[in-house]
Chain A
């Protein structure tokens, strides 16, 4: 039987705003499958976003949804989670939203290890504003504000998250659609701050400026660069040149913030 996505889509809110060929819809379907797999309760689930194309995702999902300001999703979500620890809190957004204007909130959410899941759709560009370079645009690539090629080095979001203290970090791609929900399921099940980076495509504002002739070509690129972590173990550094690792990149068990704060409450009450 075909999977029933409609169960999780708000009636009357489609079509979405995303361009033909954009991978955000593939990520949204992965998220929906993950929510269904985990049998999340809509009333007990909050999907929180910032600003940008990817951040429009919550409007389509039928649960508690919060479309905040640019870059602020992690900070709003921290407030929601602290006030209602029983809720499942899922953050979604793009690379510019999450690692530029929201970079500070992102690294500190990682550091606190608060039990939330952050899905970052990395399409290497600010799509909604028309294709300006983001902290993830590869060096030398073109954007509307790097007409002569991008002089900036880019972030590796997964490494950033691991370095900042996130206790579950995974990476997938919009091409590997069937893997997305599995990564998100594992991320949500993980106790602590989990980050799932999905390498995505923006044919409209990134692809056309960087000599991608079609969406298919962009998708094929994602297919070609992705190397599963397990497969990479058997590959040489030379073979891994220009490749991107996918799968669960990092996992560790560390004290979770809400649980630690519960101990603060206990200590404060005892000291009263």
Chain B
């Protein structure tokens, strides 16, 4: 039997990916250029008995999905730049209270209202540093419609596995372009269920580390009663200011991601075996980069591409290894040098990091990247 095929936009694919992952609650607020996700969810969710709600603002949308997730739902919200800024308050709540949720953010020009219909990649730092305090961060940056579908499923899986908010951040080009997509069969892509408690309700603690760094999460209304707060908390969920407990809990929350980098970080290596120059790229920019690498190869330049698929946690190990092998790193990105800083950190001065930074709402074209590749001596 042939698989179902469609011609979809990235945002539409994201919504269908969420449904494949078992998403049964969506809370959103209209914002360009991500609104199509909400529109598709408003059509599709009630068909499968799920719930869609358009909240009064971005913060309310984030709050609603966190509340629904605590009541056992698999939840999604979608937004873009200014909305992401507003959601940061409660993304932090999701991190400290350890509530699984997926935040789909389409990167448009910023800061503030910026360029609502223009592409950008300037929210990548916001994904890690946007909410205050130390906290884990997972952020996926798909580069195609098919990949957006698949990465949204992976985001749900990671959020359930690590009990933390996960962001999927396509740039506006990926979100709005239309491509052929092949839908997986049911069961073809594994869907990770939430780790539910095995202890009886009277013994349950929502942050019981005797079960490891990711304690099982019960649902409100499932026979378990427990307390959830945004304050630093003890294993039983109640607030504490005891120094030793706060330190240990904060470290555990971050460790959920840090100790599992190899499980989370994904990337694509393209013609890197013998490369002298590596173009590090992500999102739609990687499509221009691939073209530039091909042309460079035709011209006898040993270029390759390292495509970041998981922006956070950052692929430190892989970039450090590359920095020891190549003569230079080229980084094209639609911001004024965000990934570039991470690359410089990982390269530790061993090789030059050459940036191509555009924030004018225009995509970075292959010629620009090719010219920069040629600057590497």
Q: Using CB atoms and an 8 Å cutoff, list the residues of chain A in contact with chain B.
A: 10, 13, 42-44, 46, 48, 58-59, 62-69, 72, 75-84, 86-87, 104-105, 107-108, 261, 264-265, 267-269, 271-272
From B53, B89, B224, B228, A82 is in contact (CB under 8 Å) with B53
From B53, B57, B64, B220, A84 is in contact (CB under 8 Å) with B220
Q: Which residue of B lies closest to A56 (CB)?
A: B239
B interface SS class: mixed
Query: Once the chains are docked, how many angstroms separate the CA of A43 from the CA of B224?
Result: 6
Q: Are A104 and B67 also in contact (CB < 8 A) when A43-B221, A64-B220 are?
A: no
- Does B40 touch A at the CB level, under 8 Å? no
From A58, A79, A268, B69 is in contact (CB under 8 Å) with A79
Point out the residues of chain A lying under 8 angstroms from B57, CB to CB.
104
5 cross-chain pairs, A with B, having the tightest CB-CB distances, nearest first: A79-B67, A75-B63, A268-B46, A83-B71, A79-B68
Query: Once the chains are docked, how many angstroms separate the CA of A66 from the CA of B65?
Result: 14
From A43, A46, A82, B51 is in contact (CB under 8 Å) with A82
Contact A67 B229 (CB under 8 A): yes
Q: Are A265 and B49 also in contact (CB < 8 A) when A72-B63, A80-B71, A84-B221 are?
A: yes
Q: Are A65 and B227 also in contact (CB < 8 A) when A13-B238, A83-B72 are?
A: yes
Binary A-proximity of B20-62 (CB < 8 A = 1, otherwise 0): 0000110100000000000000010011010101011101110
Contact B64 A78 (CB under 8 A): yes
Query: Once the chains are docked, how many angstroms separate the CA of A68 from the CA of B72?
Result: 17
Query: Once the chains are docked, how many angstroms separate the CA of A80 from the CA of B222?
Result: 12
| Those of B221-267 within 8 Å (CB) of chain A | 221-231, 238-239
- Does B70 touch A at the CB level, under 8 Å? yes
Point out the residues of chain B lying under 8 angstroms from A272, CB to CB.
47
Point out the residues of chain B lying under 8 angstroms from A44, CB to CB.
221
Query: Once the chains are docked, how many angstroms separate the CA of A272 from the CA of B28?
Result: 23
Contact A105 B67 (CB under 8 A): no
- Does B181 touch A at the CB level, under 8 Å? no
- Does B90 touch A at the CB level, under 8 Å? yes
- Does B138 touch A at the CB level, under 8 Å? no
Query: Once the chains are docked, how many angstroms separate the CA of A44 from the CA of B47?
Result: 27
Contact B66 A79 (CB under 8 A): yes
Query: Once the chains are docked, how many angstroms separate the CA of A21 from the CA of B263?
Result: 54
Q: Are A83 and B60 also in contact (CB < 8 A) when A67-B229, A268-B43 are?
A: no
- Does B73 touch A at the CB level, under 8 Å? yes
Point out the residues of chain A lying under 8 angstroms from B70, CB to CB.
66, 79-80
Q: Are A79 and B27 also in contact (CB < 8 A) when A58-B227, A64-B226 are?
A: yes
Q: Using CB atoms and an 8 Å cutoff, list the residues of chain B in contact with chain A.
A: 24-25, 27, 43, 46-47, 49, 51, 53, 55-57, 59-61, 63-73, 75, 89-90, 93, 201, 219-231, 238-239
Point out the residues of chain B lying under 8 angstroms from A261, CB to CB.
46, 51, 53
Q: Which residue of B lies closest to A48 (CB)?
A: B67
From B43, B60, B220, A46 is in contact (CB under 8 Å) with B220
Query: Once the chains are docked, how many angstroms separate the CA of A66 from the CA of B43?
Result: 30
A interface SS class: helix
Contact B53 A83 (CB under 8 A): no
Pick the most buried of A42, A77, A78, A79: most chain B CB atoms within 10 A of its CB: A79
Point out the residues of chain B lying under 8 angstroms from A108, CB to CB.
55-56, 60
Query: Once the chains are docked, how many angstroms separate the CA of A253 from the CA of B230?
Result: 36
Query: Once the chains are docked, how many angstroms separate the CA of A78 from the CA of B61?
Result: 10
21 contacts between A and B (CB under 8 A): A43-B224, A43-B225, A46-B221, A63-B225, A66-B220, A66-B228, A67-B239, A68-B63, A69-B93, A75-B59, A76-B63, A77-B67, A79-B66, A79-B69, A81-B67, A82-B51, A83-B24, A105-B56, A107-B56, A261-B46, A267-B46
Q: Are A64 and B67 also in contact (CB < 8 A) when A80-B220, A104-B56, A265-B46 are?
A: no
Q: Are A65 and B69 also in contact (CB < 8 A) when A46-B220, A75-B60 are?
A: no
Q: Are A82 and B25 also in contact (CB < 8 A) when A43-B225, A76-B67 are?
A: yes
Contact A86 B67 (CB under 8 A): no
6 new A-B contacts, CB < 8 A, other than A58-B227, A65-B228, A79-B67, are: A63-B225, A67-B228, A68-B93, A75-B55, A75-B63, A75-B64
- State the Cβ distance, B165 to closest chain A Cβ, in Å: 14
Q: Are A59 and B27 also in contact (CB < 8 A) when A83-B73, A104-B56 are?
A: no
Query: Once the chains are docked, how many angstroms separate the CA of A267 from the CA of B47?
Result: 8
Query: Once the chains are docked, how many angstroms separate the CA of A77 from the CA of B190?
Result: 31
Query: Once the chains are docked, how many angstroms separate the CA of A271 from the CA of B90?
Result: 35
Query: Once the chains are docked, how many angstroms separate the CA of A271 from the CA of B64?
Result: 27
Contact B201 A78 (CB under 8 A): no
Q: Are A79 and B63 also in contact (CB < 8 A) when A67-B229, A84-B72 are?
A: yes
Q: Which residue of B lies closest to A70 (CB)?
A: B89
- State the Cβ distance, B78 to closest chain A Cβ, in Å: 15
Contact B47 A86 (CB under 8 A): no
Point out the residues of chain B lying under 8 angstroms from A86, CB to CB.
221
Point out the residues of chain A lying under 8 angstroms from B238, CB to CB.
13, 59
- State the Cβ distance, A129 to closest chain B Cβ, in Å: 15
Query: Once the chains are docked, how many angstroms separate the CA of A56 from the CA of B228?
Result: 12
Query: Once the chains are docked, how many angstroms separate the CA of A227 from the CA of B229?
Result: 38
Q: Are A79 and B43 also in contact (CB < 8 A) when A72-B59, A105-B60 are?
A: no
Contact B56 A83 (CB under 8 A): no
Q: Which residue of A lies closest to B221 (CB)?
A: A84
Q: Which residue of B lies closest to A101 (CB)?
A: B59
Point out the residues of chain B lying under 8 angstroms from A42, CB to CB.
225
